[in-house]
Amino acid sequence: MMEIINFNNRYWDHVKLASKEYKEKTVVDVRGVKIGGDKPIVIAGNCSVESRVITKITAKTVKENSGHILRGGVFKSRTSPRSSKNQNKEKLILLKEIGNEFNLPIITEVTQVNQIDFVKKYADIIQIGTRSMRNTELLKEVSKTKKPILLKRGFDATIEEWLLSAEAIMLEGNEKIILCERGIRTYEPSTRNTLDISAIPMIKQISHLPIIIDPSHATGRRNLVSPLAKAGIVAGADGIMVEIHPEPEKSITDGFQSLDFNDFISLMNDIKTLTKR
Protein backbone atom coordinates (compact mmCIF):
# COMPACT_ATOMS: atom_id res chain seq x y z
CA MET A 1 0.00 0.00 0.00
CA MET A 2 2.89 2.31 0.81
CA GLU A 3 3.89 2.92 -2.82
CA ILE A 4 0.38 3.81 -3.92
CA ILE A 5 -0.71 6.35 -1.37
CA ASN A 6 0.36 9.91 -0.82
CA PHE A 7 1.14 9.89 2.87
CA ASN A 8 0.15 13.40 3.74
CA ASN A 9 -2.68 11.71 5.55
CA ARG A 10 -2.03 10.38 9.00
CA TYR A 11 -3.92 7.18 9.39
CA TRP A 12 -3.16 5.01 6.38
CA ASP A 13 -1.08 2.82 8.66
CA HIS A 14 -4.22 2.15 10.70
CA VAL A 15 -5.87 0.52 7.71
CA LYS A 16 -4.70 -3.01 8.38
CA LEU A 17 -7.57 -5.51 8.30
CA ALA A 18 -9.14 -3.70 5.36
CA SER A 19 -5.89 -3.66 3.38
CA LYS A 20 -4.58 -6.03 0.77
CA GLU A 21 -1.70 -6.89 3.03
CA TYR A 22 -4.16 -8.67 5.33
CA LYS A 23 -5.95 -10.58 2.58
CA GLU A 24 -5.94 -10.74 -1.24
CA LYS A 25 -9.67 -10.87 -1.88
CA THR A 26 -12.98 -11.03 -0.05
CA VAL A 27 -16.06 -12.47 -1.67
CA VAL A 28 -19.21 -11.74 0.34
CA ASP A 29 -21.76 -14.50 -0.04
CA VAL A 30 -25.34 -13.29 0.43
CA ARG A 31 -27.59 -16.35 0.29
CA GLY A 32 -25.64 -17.65 -2.69
CA VAL A 33 -25.10 -14.27 -4.42
CA LYS A 34 -21.36 -13.73 -4.54
CA ILE A 35 -20.30 -10.11 -4.26
CA GLY A 36 -16.69 -9.66 -5.29
CA GLY A 37 -16.74 -12.85 -7.35
CA ASP A 38 -16.36 -13.22 -11.11
CA LYS A 39 -19.41 -11.24 -12.22
CA PRO A 40 -20.78 -7.85 -11.22
CA ILE A 41 -24.01 -8.09 -9.26
CA VAL A 42 -27.05 -5.81 -9.44
CA ILE A 43 -28.96 -4.48 -6.46
CA ALA A 44 -32.16 -2.69 -7.50
CA GLY A 45 -35.42 -1.54 -6.01
CA ASN A 46 -37.33 1.41 -4.68
CA CYS A 47 -35.68 4.22 -2.74
CA SER A 48 -38.22 3.73 0.09
CA VAL A 49 -40.42 0.71 0.54
CA GLU A 50 -43.89 1.72 -0.68
CA SER A 51 -47.09 -0.31 -1.17
CA ARG A 52 -47.32 -4.07 -1.55
CA VAL A 53 -48.25 -3.69 -5.22
CA ILE A 54 -45.27 -1.45 -6.00
CA THR A 55 -42.86 -3.64 -4.06
CA LYS A 56 -44.11 -6.72 -5.81
CA ILE A 57 -43.90 -5.45 -9.39
CA THR A 58 -40.50 -4.01 -8.62
CA ALA A 59 -39.23 -7.34 -7.26
CA LYS A 60 -40.69 -9.17 -10.25
CA THR A 61 -38.91 -6.79 -12.64
CA VAL A 62 -35.61 -7.16 -10.77
CA LYS A 63 -35.86 -10.96 -10.81
CA GLU A 64 -37.01 -11.34 -14.41
CA ASN A 65 -34.17 -9.18 -15.64
CA SER A 66 -31.43 -11.05 -13.76
CA GLY A 67 -31.04 -8.63 -10.86
CA HIS A 68 -29.64 -10.25 -7.72
CA ILE A 69 -30.76 -8.30 -4.65
CA LEU A 70 -33.82 -6.19 -3.80
CA ARG A 71 -33.36 -2.84 -2.07
CA GLY A 72 -35.79 -0.71 -0.10
CA GLY A 73 -35.37 1.95 2.55
CA VAL A 74 -37.39 1.86 5.77
CA PHE A 75 -35.20 3.71 8.27
CA LYS A 76 -33.66 6.47 6.22
CA SER A 77 -31.75 9.58 7.03
CA ARG A 78 -32.62 12.38 4.66
CA THR A 79 -31.05 15.69 3.79
CA SER A 80 -34.20 17.64 4.54
CA PRO A 81 -36.55 16.82 7.41
CA ARG A 82 -39.39 17.87 5.09
CA SER A 83 -38.50 15.15 2.60
CA SER A 84 -38.58 12.42 5.27
CA LYS A 85 -41.42 10.00 5.02
CA ASN A 86 -42.56 8.22 8.10
CA GLN A 87 -41.91 4.59 7.60
CA ASN A 88 -42.86 1.76 9.85
CA LYS A 89 -41.49 -1.61 10.75
CA GLU A 90 -44.18 -3.41 8.74
CA LYS A 91 -42.53 -2.07 5.57
CA LEU A 92 -39.42 -4.12 6.29
CA ILE A 93 -41.49 -7.24 6.93
CA LEU A 94 -43.23 -6.58 3.60
CA LEU A 95 -39.90 -6.19 1.78
CA LYS A 96 -38.69 -9.49 3.23
CA GLU A 97 -41.88 -11.30 2.36
CA ILE A 98 -41.74 -10.13 -1.27
CA GLY A 99 -37.99 -10.82 -1.43
CA ASN A 100 -38.70 -14.41 -0.36
CA GLU A 101 -41.49 -14.73 -2.89
CA PHE A 102 -39.07 -13.89 -5.71
CA ASN A 103 -36.07 -15.54 -4.11
CA LEU A 104 -34.21 -12.25 -3.82
CA PRO A 105 -32.10 -11.35 -0.78
CA ILE A 106 -32.93 -7.89 0.57
CA ILE A 107 -30.92 -4.89 1.69
CA THR A 108 -32.07 -2.05 3.92
CA GLU A 109 -30.47 0.72 5.95
CA VAL A 110 -30.08 1.23 9.67
CA THR A 111 -29.53 4.72 11.00
CA GLN A 112 -29.57 4.04 14.74
CA VAL A 113 -28.29 1.39 17.11
CA ASN A 114 -31.79 0.72 18.47
CA GLN A 115 -33.02 -0.41 15.02
CA ILE A 116 -30.42 -3.16 14.66
CA ASP A 117 -32.14 -5.95 16.62
CA PHE A 118 -35.24 -5.62 14.51
CA VAL A 119 -33.52 -5.13 11.15
CA LYS A 120 -31.12 -8.05 11.56
CA LYS A 121 -34.08 -10.45 11.72
CA TYR A 122 -35.11 -9.55 8.17
CA ALA A 123 -32.29 -7.94 6.20
CA ASP A 124 -29.79 -10.08 4.31
CA ILE A 125 -27.47 -7.07 3.98
CA ILE A 126 -27.49 -4.15 6.39
CA GLN A 127 -26.74 -0.80 4.78
CA ILE A 128 -24.84 1.99 6.47
CA GLY A 129 -25.74 5.22 4.69
CA THR A 130 -23.44 8.04 3.68
CA ARG A 131 -24.46 10.17 6.69
CA SER A 132 -23.69 7.33 9.10
CA MET A 133 -20.27 6.29 7.82
CA ARG A 134 -18.61 8.12 10.68
CA ASN A 135 -20.93 6.81 13.40
CA THR A 136 -18.48 4.46 15.07
CA GLU A 137 -20.98 3.25 17.66
CA LEU A 138 -23.35 2.21 14.88
CA LEU A 139 -20.49 0.53 12.97
CA LYS A 140 -19.47 -1.47 16.04
CA GLU A 141 -22.98 -2.62 16.83
CA VAL A 142 -23.82 -3.50 13.26
CA SER A 143 -20.62 -5.54 13.02
CA LYS A 144 -21.80 -7.72 15.90
CA THR A 145 -24.81 -8.91 13.89
CA LYS A 146 -22.36 -10.92 11.70
CA LYS A 147 -24.51 -9.94 8.73
CA PRO A 148 -23.03 -8.68 5.44
CA ILE A 149 -22.72 -4.90 5.63
CA LEU A 150 -22.86 -2.42 2.78
CA LEU A 151 -20.74 0.53 3.85
CA LYS A 152 -21.48 3.64 1.85
CA ARG A 153 -18.78 6.25 1.49
CA GLY A 154 -19.48 9.46 3.38
CA PHE A 155 -20.14 12.17 0.79
CA ASP A 156 -17.39 14.17 2.49
CA ALA A 157 -15.06 11.29 3.25
CA THR A 158 -11.65 10.53 1.81
CA ILE A 159 -10.85 6.98 0.79
CA GLU A 160 -8.65 6.76 3.87
CA GLU A 161 -11.54 7.73 6.18
CA TRP A 162 -13.87 5.32 4.42
CA LEU A 163 -11.46 2.42 4.84
CA LEU A 164 -11.00 3.38 8.50
CA SER A 165 -14.74 2.91 8.95
CA ALA A 166 -14.43 -0.51 7.31
CA GLU A 167 -11.57 -1.18 9.71
CA ALA A 168 -13.84 -0.28 12.65
CA ILE A 169 -16.36 -2.91 11.51
CA MET A 170 -13.65 -5.51 10.98
CA LEU A 171 -12.11 -4.86 14.38
CA GLU A 172 -15.38 -6.05 15.91
CA GLY A 173 -15.01 -9.32 14.06
CA ASN A 174 -17.14 -8.95 10.94
CA GLU A 175 -15.29 -9.18 7.63
CA LYS A 176 -18.36 -9.33 5.38
CA ILE A 177 -18.15 -5.77 4.13
CA ILE A 178 -19.11 -4.41 0.73
CA LEU A 179 -17.92 -0.87 0.03
CA CYS A 180 -20.25 1.41 -1.93
CA GLU A 181 -19.07 4.53 -3.75
CA ARG A 182 -22.15 6.78 -3.95
CA GLY A 183 -20.65 10.08 -5.00
CA ILE A 184 -18.85 12.78 -3.09
CA ARG A 185 -19.57 16.46 -2.78
CA THR A 186 -17.63 18.63 -5.21
CA TYR A 187 -18.13 22.16 -6.53
CA GLU A 188 -20.25 20.86 -9.43
CA PRO A 189 -23.91 21.73 -8.78
CA SER A 190 -25.53 20.12 -11.84
CA THR A 191 -25.35 16.68 -10.27
CA ARG A 192 -26.35 15.77 -6.73
CA ASN A 193 -22.82 14.47 -6.05
CA THR A 194 -19.84 13.51 -8.19
CA LEU A 195 -19.25 9.79 -8.70
CA ASP A 196 -15.60 9.13 -7.90
CA ILE A 197 -14.85 6.51 -10.52
CA SER A 198 -11.18 6.51 -9.57
CA ALA A 199 -12.15 5.16 -6.16
CA ILE A 200 -12.94 1.83 -7.83
CA PRO A 201 -9.46 0.94 -9.14
CA MET A 202 -7.93 2.64 -6.10
CA ILE A 203 -9.87 0.41 -3.70
CA LYS A 204 -9.03 -2.59 -5.85
CA GLN A 205 -5.33 -1.82 -5.43
CA ILE A 206 -5.31 -1.21 -1.71
CA SER A 207 -8.12 -3.31 -0.26
CA HIS A 208 -9.44 -6.86 -0.52
CA LEU A 209 -13.03 -5.71 0.02
CA PRO A 210 -15.54 -5.73 -2.83
CA ILE A 211 -16.73 -2.36 -4.10
CA ILE A 212 -19.98 -1.48 -5.82
CA ILE A 213 -21.26 1.86 -7.07
CA ASP A 214 -24.55 3.69 -6.58
CA PRO A 215 -25.04 5.96 -9.60
CA SER A 216 -28.55 6.96 -8.43
CA HIS A 217 -27.48 8.91 -5.35
CA ALA A 218 -24.26 9.95 -7.09
CA THR A 219 -26.04 11.84 -9.84
CA GLY A 220 -29.56 12.53 -8.62
CA ARG A 221 -30.58 12.47 -12.30
CA ARG A 222 -32.28 9.58 -14.00
CA ASN A 223 -30.67 10.12 -17.39
CA LEU A 224 -27.15 9.91 -15.96
CA VAL A 225 -27.66 6.66 -14.03
CA SER A 226 -27.14 4.12 -16.81
CA PRO A 227 -24.01 5.69 -18.36
CA LEU A 228 -22.35 5.85 -14.95
CA ALA A 229 -23.47 2.35 -13.97
CA LYS A 230 -21.74 1.05 -17.08
CA ALA A 231 -18.67 3.19 -16.51
CA GLY A 232 -18.39 1.77 -13.01
CA ILE A 233 -18.54 -1.79 -14.24
CA VAL A 234 -15.90 -1.11 -16.91
CA ALA A 235 -13.71 0.45 -14.20
CA GLY A 236 -13.89 -2.81 -12.25
CA ALA A 237 -16.79 -2.41 -9.81
CA ASP A 238 -18.17 -5.63 -8.34
CA GLY A 239 -21.69 -4.41 -8.89
CA ILE A 240 -24.15 -1.56 -8.91
CA MET A 241 -27.06 -0.44 -6.79
CA VAL A 242 -29.81 1.46 -8.60
CA GLU A 243 -33.18 2.91 -7.65
CA ILE A 244 -36.07 1.91 -9.88
CA HIS A 245 -39.78 2.58 -9.75
CA PRO A 246 -42.82 1.70 -11.90
CA GLU A 247 -43.80 5.40 -12.01
CA PRO A 248 -40.75 7.40 -10.90
CA GLU A 249 -42.65 10.70 -10.87
CA LYS A 250 -44.95 9.23 -8.21
CA SER A 251 -42.17 7.77 -6.06
CA ILE A 252 -42.44 8.95 -2.44
CA THR A 253 -38.68 9.66 -2.38
CA ASP A 254 -35.96 10.24 -4.98
CA GLY A 255 -38.23 9.88 -8.01
CA PHE A 256 -36.04 12.16 -10.16
CA GLN A 257 -33.18 9.69 -9.91
CA SER A 258 -35.21 6.46 -10.17
CA LEU A 259 -35.14 4.54 -13.44
CA ASP A 260 -38.45 3.39 -14.87
CA PHE A 261 -38.67 -0.30 -15.72
CA ASN A 262 -37.90 0.18 -19.43
CA ASP A 263 -34.71 2.05 -18.61
CA PHE A 264 -33.78 -0.61 -16.07
CA ILE A 265 -34.34 -3.40 -18.59
CA SER A 266 -32.16 -1.70 -21.19
CA LEU A 267 -29.44 -1.11 -18.58
CA MET A 268 -29.54 -4.81 -17.66
CA ASN A 269 -29.21 -5.73 -21.35
CA ASP A 270 -26.26 -3.39 -21.75
CA ILE A 271 -24.60 -4.90 -18.68
CA LYS A 272 -25.08 -8.39 -20.08
CA THR A 273 -23.36 -7.30 -23.28
CA LEU A 274 -20.55 -5.64 -21.34
CA THR A 275 -19.88 -8.65 -19.17
CA LYS A 276 -20.75 -11.19 -21.89
CA ARG A 277 -22.96 -13.23 -19.63
Of these, 36, 45, 67, 73, which contacts ligand PEP (CB under 6 A)? 73
Of these, 96, 152, 208, 245, which contacts ligand PEP (CB under 6 A)? 152
Residues numbered 13 to 72 that lie near ligand PEP (CB under 6 A) are 47
Sign of CA dihedral 77, 82, 87, 92: negative
Of all helices (H) and strands (E), which one includes residue 243?
strand 239-243
CB of 237 to ligand PEP, least distance (A): 15
Of these, 254, 259, 264, 271, which contacts Mn ion (CB under 5 A)? 254
Cβ proximity to ligand PEP, 17 vs 240, nearer residue: 240
Residues numbered 201 to 260 that lie near ligand PEP (CB under 6 A) are 214, 217
How many residues touch ligand PEP under the rule CB under 6 A: the total is 10
Task: Give the CA count within 13 Å in the CB-facing half-sphere of 159.
Answer: 23
The conformation of residue 240, written as its DSSP 8-state character, comes to E
> 10 Å Cβ neighbour count for 10?
8
Sign of CA dihedral 75, 154, 233, 142: negative
Of the chain, the end-to-end C-alpha distance in Å amounts to 33
Q: Determine the number of helices (DSSP H) and then strands (DSSP E) in the chain.
A: 9, 10
Q: Is residue 74 near Mn ion by the rule CB under 5 A?
A: no
Question: Nearest-CB residue to ligand PEP?
Answer: 129
Q: Is residue 244 near Mn ion by the rule CB under 5 A?
A: no
Cβ proximity to ligand PEP, 214 vs 238, nearer residue: 214
* b/e sequence 236-256, b meaning 16+ C-beta within 10 Å: ebbbbbbbbbbebeebbbbbe
In the shown chain, the binding pattern of residues 163 to 202 toward ligand PEP, with x for contact by CB under 6 A and - for none, equals -------------------x--------------------
Q: Where along the sequence are the contacts to Mn ion (CB under 5 A)?
A: 47, 254
Q: Where along the sequence are the contacts to ligand PEP (CB under 6 A)?
A: 47, 73, 76, 109, 129-130, 152, 182, 214, 217
